[in-house]
Structure 1
Amino acid sequence: MVLPVAPQIESDMREERSRFMTFANFPTRNVLGLRLAQAGFFYTGCDEIVKCFCCHRYYSRWHTNDVIFRTGSFMHAADCAFMLGTDSSNVPMQDGPS
């Protein structure tokens, strides 16, 4: 069972930095929070469950024998605008001063 994420928190997840911050207490150590945040996911705070901010699909099937888990389209809904590159609400982290 997945507990719902508060709507105001979920709307903040459009920002990659906000998504990345949710992984501070993520229990799965073979998965990089930065990579998941860049892939559109945030940690729900429940078990090892992450959720896409755009398509709202949950993912939790981690391969514990992988050194670093691979992210990809298989984690998203087939029509996920973020995955398809048509979403305009994502706010990526800046690499440095502009």
Structure 2
Amino acid sequence: MIINVKEITGPYCGQYDEGELLYNVVCPLLLEKQSIVLDFSGVALLSSSFLNAAISKLFHKFGADFLISHLFITGMKKVDRFVLNRMIKEAKEIRDYQPI
């Protein structure tokens, strides 16, 4: 299934609550084990706050192994991809953290 992010949030993805809108669309589909393509084409602004709500929460809930095989991202600007990759790394570290 292809989900056009701009159709859900508009071209400015800057706030946490906008990310939650996307999360609320994607999460139930992933619970059904559907494969999803998030298309960020036409998104003019993408903040880390939005990505935390939309994507990082998915890594906390489903884990990296599941998402690598079920969630695909396209149409994202290079700078936004850099921020996303950094956030994914942090989300994986938090999920894998074991207190001493």
- TM-score of the two chains, using structure 2 as the length reference: 0.31
The answer to which structure has the higher helix fraction is 2
- Using CA pairs below 8 Å that are at least 6 residues apart, which structure has the higher relative contact order? 2
- TM-score of the two chains, using structure 1 as the length reference: 0.31
